[in-house]
C-alpha cells in the first residue's frame, strides 16, 4: 500500500510490531463487545455491496478527517447527481492523517471552491496563525494542492494583537493564565476561555484539571455551563473560545525534541488549529526560551512579560501537569543511566533520538560484561555505557571496533551530558571495581 504523506519511514519490523499490537487491540475489543470509530468504519467496509442510496444530498463537515473508506461509504449513500455531495474542510486542520484519495472513493469530477470569508477569528489572530504556517511549513506542502489556508484579509473584524508572554516557570505560567482568565471572565465581556497545554496529553491535562477544580475539555463540554476549561492542543479542535491561552510554548516542546524533524509539521498543524480556536484574544505563554516557531512570527505577535499585563494570584500556584513518562523511570536505576548496558540504556530518556544503527551497535558492544582482546589491552566490548563513554571522551584515537559514525554520534549527542552528569562518577567507580573479561 502506498503510504502518502509519510516523511519519516518506519522500519519493516517496527511496522509489523505496530500491526501486531493493533490486531491484539481489535481482538480485545471483540472479546468485550465494544468497537471504536475506525473499527466501525472497517466493519461497514465489509458490506459495501449492501449499502444503497438513501439521500438526495450529503454535506460532510470537517472533511479533512475523512479517509478513502469513509468517503466511499458516503458515495454509496447518495445517488450521483448535481451537487450530490458537499465536502467542507481544511487540510491544514488535519489531526489524524489518513489515506485519502477521492478517485478511489468514487468521487470524480470534483469542483473545488474556497470559502473567502472568515467569521470566527479576528484579522490579527488569523494573520498570526497564517504566518506561523508560512514561515515554518515546508514549501512542498504548500504546493501539494492539498493544503489551502485562508488568507488573513478575509477576516471580517479586528481585535487585539496576539501576545507571547514570558514567566519564570511553567507553574507561574499556569497561575498567570488562570489569573488572566479570572479577570476576563469577571470584569469583561468574555463568555468562555480555554487554557491549552502544549507538550501534554489529554490524560495529563485531565488529571491536572481535576486537581485544580477546573473542567477539562472533552466531547461532553457545555460552553454555557463551563466558562473556563483546560485542554491539550488536539482537543480544542471543533470549539471556539473568546479567549485562548496556550501555555508551555517553549523550545524543545514546540516542536517536540522527541519528534523526527520530518514529522514536526504535524505538531505545527495542531498548533495552527489550536490558535484558530481563539475568536478575539490569543496568548502564547512560555518560560525559558520561546519556541522557534513563535520567534519567526514576532512581527505579528507581541512578546512581553506576563507581569506587565496581569497580577499573579499566588493561591493559583498548584504545580504543573504530571507527564506520563515516555520511558520507564525504573530502568535508569535512580538516575544513574551510565551504569546500564546498551540494551538497558535504550529505554532511557537520554537515548531518544539516536540513530537506528547506533542503537544496534550499543546493544552489540555494551553487553553488561565487557571484554578485552586477547594479548592486548584493547577493549572489544564494554560493560556499561559509562565505560564506553569514558573511552570515547578520553581517547580520540581510532578504534577499529568502533565505526567513526558511531563514535562521532555518541560524542555529539551524549558527550556534554555525560561529562556534566554527577552520576557518572559513581558509574565509573563501579566499572573500575570490576575486572574486565578477556575473550
Angle (nearest 5°) at CA 380 between 378 and 384: 105
| Same domain (yes/no): 131, 242 | yes
pLDDT digits (tens, 9 = 90+) for 143-161: 544 445 666 777 878 899 9
CA–CA dist 30, 217 (Å, integer):
29
| Same domain (yes/no): 263, 405 | no
Q: Report the 10 Å Cβ neighbour count for 64.
A: 20
CA–CA dist 336, 427 (Å, integer):
7
Per-residue pLDDT at 225? 80
CA–CA dist 216, 195 (Å, integer):
10
Question: Could you tell me which residues are beta bridge partners of residue 303?
Answer: 164
| Same domain (yes/no): 242, 297 | yes
| Same domain (yes/no): 282, 354 | no
| Same domain (yes/no): 376, 289 | no
Alpha-carbon separation of residue 277 from 126, 156, 173, 234 (angstroms): 10, 16, 20, 11
Q: Report the 10 Å Cβ neighbour count for 260.
A: 12
Q: Does residue 321 sit within a domain?
A: no
What phi and psi, each to the nearest 5 degrees, are found at residue 221?
Answer: -65, 130
Closest to 348 measured CA to CA, from 374, 378, 371, 328: 328
Q: Does residue 136 sit within a domain?
A: yes
Q: Does residue 114 sit within a domain?
A: no
Domain with 302, as residue range(s), is 123-316
In this structure, are residues 439 and 386 in contact, taking their beta carbons and an 8 Å threshold?
A: no
| Same domain (yes/no): 64, 195 | no
Per-residue pLDDT at 229? 96
In this structure, are residues 171 and 138 in contact, taking their beta carbons and an 8 Å threshold?
A: no
- Domain end, chosen from 316, 345, 370, is at 316
| Same domain (yes/no): 29, 157 | no
Q: Does residue 363 sit within a domain?
A: yes
Q: Does residue 6 sit within a domain?
A: no
Q: Does residue 212 sit within a domain?
A: yes
CA–CA dist 38, 66 (Å, integer):
11
| Same domain (yes/no): 170, 277 | yes
Q: What is the pLDDT along the chain (439 residues), one digit of tens a residue?
A: 556 655 566 788 888 999 999 999 999 998 999 988 888 888 888 899 999 999 999 999 888 888 899 999 999 999 998 889 999 887 655 555 677 888 889 998 888 887 777 778 899 999 999 899 888 887 655 554 444 566 677 787 889 999 999 999 999 999 999 999 999 999 888 999 999 999 999 999 999 999 999 999 987 777 778 899 999 999 998 889 999 999 999 998 999 877 767 778 888 989 998 999 999 999 999 999 999 999 999 889 999 999 999 999 999 999 999 987 666 656 544 457 888 999 989 888 788 878 888 999 999 999 999 888 887 777 889 999 998 998 888 776 666 677 788 888 898 888 888 888 776 665 554 444 444 444 4
Q: Which CATH number covers residue 257?
A: 3.40.50.300
Number of domains in the chain: 3
Cβ partners under 8 Å of residue 416, min gap 6 = none
| Helix axes of 404-420 and 385-394: crossing angle, nearest 10 degrees | 100
Cβ partners under 8 Å of residue 131, min gap 6 = 296, 297, 299, 300
Per-residue pLDDT at 436? 44
Q: Does residue 106 sit within a domain?
A: no
| Same domain (yes/no): 305, 336 | no
| Same domain (yes/no): 424, 342 | yes
| Same domain (yes/no): 131, 249 | yes
| Same domain (yes/no): 163, 230 | yes
Q: Does residue 427 sit within a domain?
A: yes
CA–CA dist 346, 356 (Å, integer):
11
Angle (nearest 5°) at CA 299 between 297 and 301: 65
Cβ partners under 8 Å of residue 326, min gap 6 = 258, 349, 352
| 28, three cell numbers | 480485545
Entry pTM: 0.65
pLDDT digits (tens, 9 = 90+) for 274-325: 999 999 999 999 999 999 999 999 889 999 999 999 999 999 999 999 987 6
Closest to 245 measured CA to CA, from 324, 167, 136, 131: 167
Q: Please, is 207 exposed, middle or buried when counting C-beta atoms within 10 Å of its C-beta (0-12, 13-18, 19+)? A: middle
Amino acid at each position: 500500500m502506498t503510504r502518502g504523506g509519510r516523511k519519516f519511514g518506519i522500519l519493516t519490523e517496527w511496522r509489523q510490531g505496530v500491526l501486531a499490537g493493533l490486531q491484539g487491540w481489535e481482538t480485545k475489543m471483540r472479546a468485550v463487545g465494544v468497537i471504536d470509530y475506525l473499527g466501525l468504519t472497517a466493519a461497514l467496509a465489509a458490506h459495501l455491496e449492501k449499502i444503497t442510496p438513501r439521500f438526495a444530498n450529503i454535506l460532510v463537515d470537517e472533511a479533512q478527517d475523512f479517509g478513502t473508506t469513509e468517503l466511499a461509504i458516503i458515495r454509496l449513500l447518495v445517488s450521483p447527481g448535481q451537487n450530490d455531495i458537499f465536502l467542507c474542510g481544511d487540510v491544514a486542520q488535519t489531526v489524524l492523517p489518513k489515506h485519502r484519495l477521492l478517485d478511489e472513493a468514487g468521487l470524480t469530477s470534483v469542483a473545488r471552491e474556497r470559502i473567502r470569508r472568515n467569521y470566527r477569528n479576528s484579522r490579527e489572530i488569523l494573520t498570526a496563525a497564517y504566518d506561523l504556517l508560512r514561515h515554518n511549513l515546508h514549501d512542498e506542502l504548500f504546493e501539494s494542492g492539498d493544503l489551502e489556508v485562508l488568507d488573513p484579509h478575509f477576516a471580517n473584524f479586528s481585535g487585539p494583537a496576539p501576545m507571547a508572554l514570558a514567566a519564570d516557570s511553567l507553574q507561574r505560567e499556569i497561575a498567570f493564565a488562570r489569573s488572566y482568565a479570572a479577570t476576563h471572565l469577571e470584569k469583561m465581556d468574555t463568555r468562555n476561555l480555554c487554557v491549552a497545554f502544549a507538550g501534554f496529553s489529554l490524560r495529563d491535562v485531565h488529571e491536572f484539571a481535576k486537581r485544580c477544580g477546573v473542567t477539562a475539555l472533552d466531547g461532553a463540554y457545555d460552553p454555557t455551563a463551563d466558562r473556563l476549561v483546560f485542554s491539550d492542543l488536539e482537543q480544542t479542535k471543533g470549539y471556539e473560545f473568546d479567549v485562548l491561552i496556550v501555555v508551555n510554548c517553549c523550545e524543545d516542546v514546540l516542536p517536540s525534541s522527541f519528534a523526527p524533524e520530518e514529522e514536526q509539521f504535524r505538531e505545527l498543524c495542531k498548533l495552527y488549529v489550536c490558535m484558530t480556536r481563539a475568536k478575539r484574544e490569543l496568548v502564547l505563554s512560555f518560560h525559558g526560551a520561546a519556541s522557534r516557531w513563535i520567534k519567526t512570527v514576532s512581527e505579528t505577535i507581541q512578546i512581553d512579560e506576563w507581569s506587565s499585563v496581569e497580577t499573579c494570584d499566588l493561591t493559583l500556584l498548584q504545580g504543573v501537569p504530571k507527564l506520563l513518562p515516555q520511558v520507564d523511570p525504573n530502568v535508569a536505576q535512580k538516575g544513574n543511566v551510565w551504569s546500564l548496558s546498551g540494551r538497558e540504556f535504550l529505554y532511557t530518556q537520554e537515548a531518544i533520538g539516536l540513530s537506528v544503527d547506533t542503537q544496534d551497535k550499543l546493544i552489540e558492544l555494551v553487553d553488561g560484561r565487557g571484554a578485552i582482546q586477547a594479548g592486548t589491552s584493547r577493549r572489544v566490548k564494554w560493560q556499561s555505557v559509562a565505560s564506553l563513554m569514558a573511552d570515547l571522551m578520553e581517547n580520540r584515537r581510532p578504534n577499529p571496533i568502533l565505526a567513526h559514525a558511531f563514535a562521532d554520534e555518541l560524542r555529539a549527542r551524549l558527550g556534554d551530558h555525560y561529562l556534566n552528569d554527577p552520576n557518572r562518577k559513581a558509574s565509573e567507580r563501579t566499572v573500575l571495581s570490576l575486572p574486565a573479561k578477556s575473550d
